[in-house]
Amino acid sequence: MDKISKIVDEIYELFKEHGVKRSDIEKRLKLLIFEFKVPEEEARRTVINGLRREFDISRESLRYPLTKISELEPGKWVSVKAKVLQLWNATNASIAQWGIIGDETGTARFVIWAKSGKGKVEENKCYLFEKVVVDEFAGVKSVKVTSISEVKEIDEEIEVSEGGEIEAVGALVSISSNSGLVQVCKNCGRITKAGICKEHGKVETTEVLRLRGVLDDGEKTYDVEFSETTIKSLTDLDLATAKKLAFEHLDRGIVLSELKRKLLGRYLRISGEVRLSTINVKNAEFLRAKVSKEVEKLLAEVKA
């Protein structure tokens, strides 16, 4: 099935109970995409909004397709059956609850806005999240519960696939610019600029030492995140040392530069838990000496 047919099917699922024909949806969509060169996602929204106005259908009355977590796409309104895996402290008045949900295909974050007026969910219970909107930040997807959403506990046991523990060996080929000594929002952990969080506005911040990057094993790549503890085990750099270094140079960027100098391009053996498609590294060690020995061994075999 091509992308356009998939979009047509998705829109049809929303409107079929209101007498909208699939052929009409396809005609409108193709006109926008092929004749007027409108991007696919924008064309999708235009068709939906046009049909809503034409048939006088409120957003609340639309059906939202039941979607697996691995298939969530930013900007789309969906319904999700999932298990609440973890709840975090909501220190901002705008958030009623937030945390991690999962199904058999993966995990995602969720947010229940305080203004939504929805009842609270509990850890290790399963729910149907209806009419929720998908968002994405730094590659991490989340579903947001708004005033038009519905959250219902369901009598189902959902087996959650979180990826489990994983070990990988490879070169650290990239270190994100959002690494080093950074100021983050106390509410959500996002990086702030001048004390402003994109999600919560003006907030209290805290300093953390972290590293986000990409490990390449020669066949595939892994998104990885190193905590302060793991960074220290590799570089002897902890939060206190990073703060001192930044103060001495009057520049936070010196910490990122130091991490790149010590770690970028180095071969590592890592292990950790896969959450939200990222390996949260618990253990890491350098492999340069071991790799060199393997190379020498292979060269010796070739010469023989």
172 and 290 part of one domain: yes
Domain closes at, from 109, 129, 153:
153
Q: What's the CA gap between 220 and 200, in Å, rounded?
A: 36
Q: Is residue 94 domain-shared with residue 120, that is, in the same domain?
A: yes
| Residue 193 banded pLDDT, cuts 50, 70, 90 | confident
**What CATH number does residue 79 fall under?**
2.40.50.140
- 40 and 111 assigned to the same domain: no
237 and 120 fall within a common domain: no
Q: Which domain holds residue 51?
A: 3-58
Give the chain's domain count: 3
What are the CA-CA distances from residue 165 to residues 14, 94, 107, 272, 277 (Å)? 38, 34, 14, 5, 12
On whether residue 268 sits in a domain, the answer given is: yes
Return the pLDDT at 276: 63
- What percentage of the chain exceeds 70 in pLDDT? 91
Identify each DSSP E strand in 114-262 by its residue range: 126-137, 140-145, 150-153, 165-175, 180-185, 196-197, 201-202, 205-216, 221-226
Q: Which tens digit of pLDDT belongs to each residue from 149-166? A: 999 999 999 988 756 677
Per-residue pLDDT tens over the stretch 204-258 = 899 999 999 999 988 778 889 999 999 999 999 999 999 999 999 999 999 999 9
287 and 200, same structural domain?
yes
Shared domain check, 107 and 145: yes
pLDDT on residue 68: 92
The answer on pLDDT for 127 being more than 70 is yes
Look at residue 297 and tell me whether its pLDDT is greater than 60: no
Residue 302 within any structural domain of the chain: no
Q: Are residues 52 and 77 in the same domain?
A: no
> Do residue 172 and residue 288 come from a single domain?
yes
Looking at residue 105, what is its pLDDT? 84
13 to 7, 9, 21, 224: CA distances (angstroms):
10, 6, 10, 37
What's residue 262's pLDDT?
Answer: 96
Boundary of a domain, candidates 153, 184, 217:
153
Residue that finishes a domain, picked among 123, 153, 183: 153
Name the residue with higher pLDDT: 31 or 277. 31
Q: Check which CATH number belongs to the domain holding 272 and give it.
A: 2.40.50
Q: Given a cut of 80, is residue 98 above it in pLDDT? A: yes
Average pLDDT over every residue of 114-134: 93
Whether 174 and 144 map to the same domain: the answer is: no
Is 201 found in the same domain as 241? yes
Q: How confident is the model at residue 116 (pLDDT cuts 50, 70, 90)?
A: very high
- Please tell me whether residues 173 and 132 are part of one structural domain: no
Kindly state whether residue 64 falls inside one of the protein's structural domains.
no
